[in-house]
Amino acid sequence: MTTKVLTVPDISCEHCERAIKGALEPLPGVQVVHVDIPGKKVRVQYDETRVDVETIKAAVEEEEYPVAAVE
């Protein structure tokens, strides 16, 4: 299991959280998605054999939330 933290500066409310969770939770291999609204971060736990961080990042950006950094 791998955990990455994405910095997403445009997160501002619960709608943002729902949109991001809705984009990530259905991806194969994604186990846990935690959105920190005040911190503007998304922590994702996933199985790296089923999904990669680029796919996760693309899913967030497809919802029109640009990813500034991945830790």
- Cα–Cα distance measured from residue 49 to residue 33, given in angstroms and rounded to the nearest whole number: 17
What is the model's pTM?
A: 0.95
What tokens were used for 23?
A: 């984009």
E strand segments, the chain: 2-7, 30-36, 41-46, 69-70
- Cα–Cα distance measured from residue 69 to residue 61, given in angstroms and rounded to the nearest whole number: 12
pLDDT in tens, 53-65: 999 999 999 999 9
pLDDT in tens, 19-50: 999 999 999 999 999 999 999 999 999 999 99
User: Where are the chain's structural domains?
Assistant: 2-70
In the three-class reduction of DSSP (H, G, I as helix; E, B as strand; rest coil), residue 61 is classed as helix
CATH number of this structure's domain 2-70, picked from the four choices 3.40.50.150, 3.40.50.800, 3.30.70.100, 3.40.30.10: 3.30.70.100
